[in-house]
Amino acid sequence: MYSQVWEKCSASVCCLNFYNEHGVLIDTLSGFKIDKSLVTCEQAFYVKGAQKVEIRFVEADANTPKATIRVDYTEFVNDLKIGFTHNHADYAVFNIDFAEFHNIPSLSLCERWVYPIGMPIAMLGFNGAGQNLAIKTGIVSSAFSNKQGVRYIQIDSLTCYGNSGAPVIDPQTMQVVAIVSRRNTSATKSYNDMMGYISTNLEELRKLEGKFKLGDIDPIQVLIANQNQIKLLATNIYKNTSTGTSQAVMLDHIITYFNEQAVNENLLPNSAEVDTDVTIGKV
């Protein structure tokens, strides 16, 4: 059953790598193709320090690049985004109607409203540390809504850094039932809190740098180095630790968007003549 999920769905799942001005990889998300669009988690709008984003689909071996483009991050979020940021629904949609991706197959969205507890699922996402696509199995273990009324399923499946935005698949229908939202977990909140504390500590320490000396040693510089070491250690732990229970946002808003798009396209006169080209900076 799960080998069939891989065979039918893996080609539609992509990795989104975000690079800073020095070309250093600073974040990784997963996403998937629906029609001519890319669907991922809302975090894609808010990657601090990102200068470039690479969208990469792979072959069935889980590693070999099949189709890749790299664009300026500002163009990605401003020119290619579809819909609105801060949508409180934990998803993002981007236009990827490029020649490089025309042969990439599309997944389909399931329009069911209820998924029973105990239902088997598969999740296809990229492992951020290894940059390889992986399939993971699990079940729907619970369901809930947040304060904004957005519905989630809780999945009992190992997820890791890079899996946010990955599709959750019903292995019976091969349709997407939800989108992984790992960054809403308590572990992620704790990590973000720690990063905030360390940034505050470093800011205060730098105000005192050079004002005290113990012989030839500046103790403030030692404390700054210590804070940076803690920051690096916390980041490595966060990126390399799997979570056994994760949240996945249900597709209520996504389905509404794509249904509305289909209606609008059918109403457009001579839609084939409408110019929808977007100019992007490829590197």
Q: What's the predicted TM-score (pTM) here?
A: 0.78
Q: Do 41 and 58 belong to one domain?
A: yes
The answer to whether position 152 is within a domain reads yes
Tokens 């492992």 locate to: 127
- Section 136-140 average pLDDT: 93
The answer to whether position 281 is within a domain reads no
150 has pLDDT over 70: yes
Q: Do 37 and 162 belong to one domain?
A: yes
Q: What pLDDT is attached to residue 258?
A: 79
Range of the domain at 180: 2-185+240-273
Give the pairing of strands 120-127 and 167-170.
Answer: antiparallel
Contact by Cβ (8 Å): 182, 246? yes
Strand partners, 72: 52
The least confident of 155-159, 186-190, 211-215 is: 186-190
CATH number at residue 258: 2.40.10.120
240 has pLDDT over 90: no
Please report, rounded to a whole number, the percentage of residues in the chain having pLDDT higher than 70: 84
Structural domain tally of the chain?
Answer: 2
Q: Do 21 and 83 belong to one domain?
A: yes
- Section 147-165 average pLDDT: 85
Q: What pLDDT is attached to residue 86?
A: 62
Q: Do 118 and 208 belong to one domain?
A: no
183 has pLDDT over 60: no
Q: Do 97 and 197 belong to one domain?
A: no
3-state secondary structure of 259: helix
Q: What pLDDT is attached to residue 282?
A: 36
Q: Do 133 and 162 belong to one domain?
A: yes
Q: Do 177 and 213 belong to one domain?
A: no
Q: What pLDDT is attached to residue 147?
A: 84
Contact by Cβ (8 Å): 50, 20? yes
Q: Virtual CA dihedral for 255, 99, 20, 14, nearest 10 degrees?
A: 50
